[in-house]
A and B are shown apart, each in its own frame.
Chain A
């Protein structure tokens, strides 16, 4: 089954179960808290439990057990949360990714784009509802006025990192092509077989000053795995929609 669709609909089922559970237990909890000062000893409330449920124990008592369960959650959090919170990166010893290493979900080899991305025949095309369709080589793109933006790659897997991206503003390309002021676009990748090879960019994001077609990452040319020769990067977009190996911008 598809992870995204199944996750989405199962989430609604889970939310509903939690709502029903809270509705059932909240009154009971409220009554118990209101009676807290006058609550009976456990053995008096239910003689079947006897005195073994309270009093000194050879092992953990209830309070210690609950505290230890909390500590277990804390340890699991500490060894993974560094994927998202930079201050904890050194502790993320069991995290599936290391954000400091600028991870990728899909390498250029796995995407099957190495030959096309590094080919001297590579071109970026701007077409669709434009007055002047445009075509650029990589050298021509790099010669355009470059802008930089500090933006995150935030993956739905739970890891993220911020980096400095440099490239040409998407809105500048749209202006050069004579696209309308309310233009929305599809950005297409060299990757042929992926559900995310085409990413929609709405009007607001297409004209955002920080939405770039990046050629550089942290001052260095993009590596193949990071989307060489061109990567879409913009604010408020999940990682899968920060399209790598961009070859076409189609104005809708």
Chain B
């Protein structure tokens, strides 16, 4: 095998153009509908919601995640994979649980709205995840150090 083998980029074929045509037709249909029903969709508010979400992801969330990832490199090598696994699972878990913990969307005078103790439940689930990660990671280390004959 020669190093640096260059595979030329194939010309875009039929599948590409059919997908592009159908996809853009649907996108334009959705845009047209959102603008046509502007009394309900409030296009400027909707655009702020979507663009704001993308900016929040790129300017806040992604840098925070990258920063945590860099900090994870300070963890001793033997423990690094365990910490990474725990962070990858518990991070989104925390993001998901945050609105429930803060009570966002709770309907007053409706006892069936947000009925659980979400703080306690979050730590319960996160704790179970950390234990499961530690146990499975330990099992993988044992397999590597003592492979079956």
Q: Which A residues have a C-beta under 8 Å from some C-beta of B?
A: 1-2, 4-6, 8-24, 26-27, 31, 40-41, 44-45, 47, 57-60, 64-65, 68-69, 71-72, 75-76, 79, 93-98, 101-107, 109-110, 225
> With A27-B16, A96-B100 given, is the CB distance from A64 to B81 under 8 Å?
yes
Which chain A residues border B72 with CB–CB below 8 Å?
59
Question: A21 CB to closest chain B CB, in angstroms?
Answer: 7
In angstroms, Cα B82 to Cα A166, docked, is 54
Question: B130 CB to closest chain A CB, in angstroms?
Answer: 11
B23 near A21: Cβ-Cβ < 8 Å: yes
What is the 8 Å Cβ interface bit string for chain B, positions 89-124, against chain A (1 contact, 0 not)? 101110011001000010111101111101001101
A98 near B125: Cβ-Cβ < 8 Å: no
Interface of chain B, helix or strand or loop or mixed?
Answer: helix
The 3 closest A-B pairs by CB, nearest first: A23-B19, A20-B23, A16-B26
In angstroms, Cα B115 to Cα A52, docked, is 49
Identify the interface centre among A5, A21, A44, A59: most chain B CB within 10 Å of its CB: A59
Which chain A residues border B124 with CB–CB below 8 Å?
93
> With A16-B26, A23-B15, A68-B89 given, is the CB distance from A58 to B5 under 8 Å?
no
Q: Which of A31, A47, A106 contacts B110 (CB 8 A)?
A: A106
Which chain A residues border B54 with CB–CB below 8 Å?
none
Residues of B in contact, count (CB < 8 Å): 66
B116 near A98: Cβ-Cβ < 8 Å: yes
Number of A-B contacts (CB under 8 A): 184
In angstroms, Cα B128 to Cα A94, docked, is 14
Given contacts A72-B93, A225-B110, 7 further A-B contacts (CB under 8 A): A16-B26, A16-B30, A27-B13, A40-B1, A72-B92, A105-B107, A107-B110
21 A–B pairs (Cβ distance < 8 Å), ordered by A? A2-B42, A5-B41, A6-B40, A6-B46, A9-B34, A16-B23, A16-B25, A20-B24, A20-B27, A23-B15, A23-B19, A40-B5, A41-B1, A44-B3, A45-B7, A60-B84, A72-B89, A72-B93, A79-B93, A98-B115, A104-B112
